[in-house]
């Protein structure tokens, strides 16, 4: 079986790493790794490949940045010749970034079977570009690998046949468990003069939070208040750093400067920070899952989540951008009254193995494509 795996942006790297290990352990599988170049700088890409032990991509499309339309179109144009030359049986895409969408459209039109890892996740919020990517990708996917039962139900409601849906668990957690020991050797706490459970960790990059000056002002005020009770460590996304200079935040800048603002981190250093944090504030999807498995309280700075299992079973609480709600939940955490949660089924470090075993069975039974070629 010939398989092409696609990565493009930082969230993809943690998801593809265990799949590559599982795929390359099978002598009967020939594998090609394609990096679209959606994230292309040192912090966003190369350091993650090194930390996660991902081999150098066989093909780098170097698509670069741009608007959603321009970037997706560039990825599609550059990816098509790769598929035409390599002629794989199957393409694996992960997550919900522009690379996921663009490469899925190209593969589907060329009648290459598409396997979507993390299929079926839904926020029901079409203002999120990722939600559009998820919906379109799943509409042309052949094989659906899901992380949770709610994702299965979403797909069934959308008319997907049950025998095309495979609940395999969460590959993000495969990577987490594989790297916990290495992350424990990181010097990041020492370098930042931090003590375990002595700080809160913040990530914030979504346009809905950082592009609207009024919302950013509300959040910045809450963060400054939290920082008076416990230090807030903030690896600042370039987009967010630029927006923090907005005139509307002028009166808050002195307070915000007291947060521990640092540059974006590689995977192992960030995992070390997350593992040792008292709690995490985030607008990221994957971090909601990782904190659930680590048992770390997580406050999600969004009104919705495509990962509801982290709320119903995990440590995650949706707080949006409401300072009162944020500060109320922080107070509970600092008082030891936070949500405890439990680990969801199949979030056990073996999801990638289940994916590859399933693909080999489908190939053997000639069932990779939803609609077989004539």
221-234, pLDDT tens digit by residue?
Answer: 999 999 999 999 99
Token pair in block for residue 276: 């040792």
**So what's the pLDDT on residue 43?**
55
The verdict on whether 237 is a catalytic residue reads no
Residues counted in the chain: 374
For residue 237, give the 3-state DSSP assignment. coil
> Fold match between 2-170+347-364 and 178-334?
yes
**So what's the pLDDT on residue 147?**
98
Strands (E), the chain: 2-7, 30-35, 59-60, 90-94, 113-117, 143-146, 165-167, 200-203, 232-235, 260-262, 279-282, 298-300, 316-318
Residues 369 and 192: beta-carbon distance below 8 Å: no
β 2-7/200-203 pair status = unpaired
Local structure of residue 55 (DSSP, 8 states): P
pLDDT 10s digits, 153-198: 999 999 999 999 999 999 999 999 999 999 999 999 999 999 999 9
**Maximal CA-CA distance, the chain:** 67
Residue 117: how many other CB atoms lie within 10 Å:
26
CA angle 348, 350, 352 (to 5 degrees): 130
pTM for this model (two decimals): 0.94
CATH code of the domain occupying 2-170+347-364: 3.40.50.2000
CA angle 146, 150, 152 (to 5 degrees): 45
- Which of 205, 237, 246, 338 is catalytic? The answer is 205
Domains of the chain, by residue range, sit at 2-170+347-364, 178-334
**So what's the pLDDT on residue 374?**
47
- Helix (H), strand (E) at residue 296: none
9 contacts: CB under 8 Å, gap ≥ 6: 38, 39, 44, 95, 97, 98, 99
Strands (E), 242-327: 260-262, 279-282, 298-300, 316-318
**So what's the pLDDT on residue 100?**
97
**So what's the pLDDT on residue 372?**
64
Cα separation, 72 vs 61, whole angstroms: 12
Its CATH class, for the domain covering 178-334, is alpha beta
Compute φ and ψ for 114, nearest 5 degrees.
-110, 125
Residue 97: how many other CB atoms lie within 10 Å:
26
Output the tens digit of pLDDT for each of the chain's 374 residues. Answer: 999 999 998 889 999 999 999 999 999 999 999 999 876 665 556 788 889 999 999 999 988 888 999 999 999 999 999 999 999 999 999 999 999 999 999 999 999 999 999 999 999 999 999 999 999 999 999 999 999 999 999 999 999 999 999 999 999 999 999 999 999 999 999 999 999 999 999 999 888 888 888 898 899 999 999 999 999 999 998 778 888 888 877 777 777 788 999 999 999 999 999 999 999 999 999 999 999 999 999 999 999 999 999 999 999 999 999 999 999 999 999 999 999 999 999 999 999 999 999 999 999 999 998 766 54
């Amino acid at each position: 079986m010939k398989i092409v795996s696609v990565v493009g942006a930082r969230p993809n790297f943690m998801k593809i790493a265990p799949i590559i290990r599982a795929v390359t352990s099978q002598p009967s599988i020939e594998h090609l790794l394609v990096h679209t170049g959606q994230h292309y700088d040192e912090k966003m890409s190369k350091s993650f490949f090194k930390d996660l032990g991902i081999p150098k991509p066989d093909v780098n499309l170097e698509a670069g940045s741009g608007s959603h339309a321009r970037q997706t179109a560039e990825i599609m144009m550059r990816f098509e010749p790769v598929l035409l030359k390599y002629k794989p049986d199957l393409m694996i895409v992960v997550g919900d970034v522009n690379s996921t969408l663009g490469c899925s459209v190209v593969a589907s039109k060329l009648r290459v079977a598409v396997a979507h890892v993390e299929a079926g996740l839904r926020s029901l919020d079409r203002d999120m570009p990722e939600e559009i990517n998820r919906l379109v990708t799943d509409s042309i996917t052949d094989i659906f690998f899901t992380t949770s039962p709610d994702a299965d139900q979403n797909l069934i409601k959308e008319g997907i046949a049950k025998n095309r849906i495979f609940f395999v668990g969460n590959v993000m957690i495969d990577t987490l468990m594989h790297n916990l020991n290495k992350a424990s050797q990181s010097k990041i706490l020492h370098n930042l003069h931090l003590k375990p459970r002595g700080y809160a960790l913040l990530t914030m990059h979504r346009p809905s939070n950082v592009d609207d000056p009024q919302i950013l002002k509300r959040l910045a005020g809450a963060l400054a208040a939290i920082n008076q009770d416990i230090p807030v460590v903030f690896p600042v996304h370039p987009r967010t750093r630029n927006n923090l200079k907005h005139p509307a935040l002028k009166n808050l800048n002195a307070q915000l400067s007291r947060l521990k603002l640092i540059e974006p981190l590689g995977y192992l250093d960030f995992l070390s920070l997350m593992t040792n944090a008292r709690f995490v504030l985030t607008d990221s999807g994957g971090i909601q899952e990782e904190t659930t498995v680590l048992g770390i309280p997580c406050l999600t700075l969004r009104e919705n989540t495509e990962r509801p299992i982290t709320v119903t079973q995990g440590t995650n609480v949706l707080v949006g951008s409401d300072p009162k709600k944020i500060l109320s939940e922080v107070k509970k955490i600092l008082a030891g009254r936070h949500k405890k949660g439990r680990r969801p089924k199949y979030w056990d470090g073996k999801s990638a193995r289940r994916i590859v075993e399933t693909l080999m069975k489908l190939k053997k039974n000639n069932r990779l494509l939803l609609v077989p070629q004539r």
